[in-house]
Amino acid sequence: MRLIFKKGFQKKLIEDIKESSRLTWNELGTFANIPSGYLKSDLRYEKRALSLDYYHNLSKLSSQDYSQFIIKKLDDNWGRSKGGKISKPSPNPIITLVDKPSIKLAELVGIMLGDGNIWVNKKKNGYYYTRISGHSINDKKYLLGYVKPLIYDLFKIKMETYYSKESKCMHLTKANKNLAYNLNRFGICFGNKLKNNIEIPGWVFSSKDFLKACIRGLIDTDGSVCSITGRDYTYIWFKSAIPNLRISFSKAMSLLGYKTSGWSKIGTPQVYIGQKNLIRKYYKEIGFNNPKHLDRLKLPL
């Protein structure tokens, strides 16, 4: 069931709860079981009607009764007229391709946080673009053999492949409004990730299985497997120039029971898993889907 509020009161409900609870958007989304991007954008700005379940979840944090501002309750098939005819759709509506979080979606979020980006060029007739990049040799099997099928499995959208003429770089690309907005709904921002100071979305922290999948996506893209001088086994590394992503990565690893090194202060900050038991634990519990990491991995005895 969908709830229709007096104009402006759905926005007021969400913003009042956000302010009084002092939670971040990610934390509030996790508490209410709502994807943070969907809550912050679509629901907050009344682009979508609030479902009854979402309203009940949010109301637990509200000291005010907002039910007095509900003017209509609609069934899930409210888009149909009383005569059974389908109402005329708005031009180019956004279609929900994924309804709820999943392990596969959490892994794709990690991949996007690592080597992906989405943006909108509204000046160019609303151009919505999603891209995931990698090395044209080292990451080719991973991008074509795993990431591309993963996206199709989730969204039923076939990514296109582009190879750079200037560098050894390849991209999975798609100009698709629905894909861009569905990824945004689950916490992937539009635009520059560094400027937006992105982080692991709050909904990912609601499940250790989600966390493991997201971390796998991050390390498969922005991580590496290599040894250091004096060691006959490989460490697992992760690097990021984005402050909030580093903070949320460290939080996730701690919740999963992994002790990492401190973030390096030279070049792009990075951490590593160096303890033998934790490297084996990572391989067993999280693992890799990028073949280049498996090829380089040498487990400690």
Tokens linked to 124: 């160019």
Residue 136 is predicted with a pLDDT of 95
Q: Are 57 and 32 in contact (CB under 8 A)?
A: yes
pLDDT tens digits, residue range 132-178?
999 999 999 999 999 999 999 999 999 999 998 888 999 999 999 99
pTM of the full structure: 0.73
Last residue of a domain, one of 23, 58, 74: 74
* Spatial distance between the Cα atoms of 35 and 28, rounded to a whole number of angstroms: 9
pLDDT tens digits, residue range 183-213?
988 989 899 999 999 999 989 998 999 999 9
pLDDT of residue 106 exceeding 90, the answer is yes
pLDDT of residue 92 exceeding 80, the answer is no
Residue 183 lies in a domain: yes
Last residue of a domain, one of 179, 196, 213: 196
Residue 15 lies in a domain: yes
Tokens linked to 125: 């007739």
Residue 65 lies in a domain: yes
* Spatial distance between the Cα atoms of 182 and 94, rounded to a whole number of angstroms: 9
Of the candidates 210, 208, 239, 201, the one whose C-alpha atom is nearest the C-alpha of residue 115 is 239
Alpha helical stretches, state H, 193-258? 193-196, 208-222, 243-255
Residue 139 is predicted with a pLDDT of 97
Domain that holds residue 284: 202-296
* Spatial distance between the Cα atoms of 190 and 280, rounded to a whole number of angstroms: 36
Residue 87 is predicted with a pLDDT of 44
Instruction: Quickly count: other Cβ atoms within 10 Å of residue 60's Cβ.
Output: 10
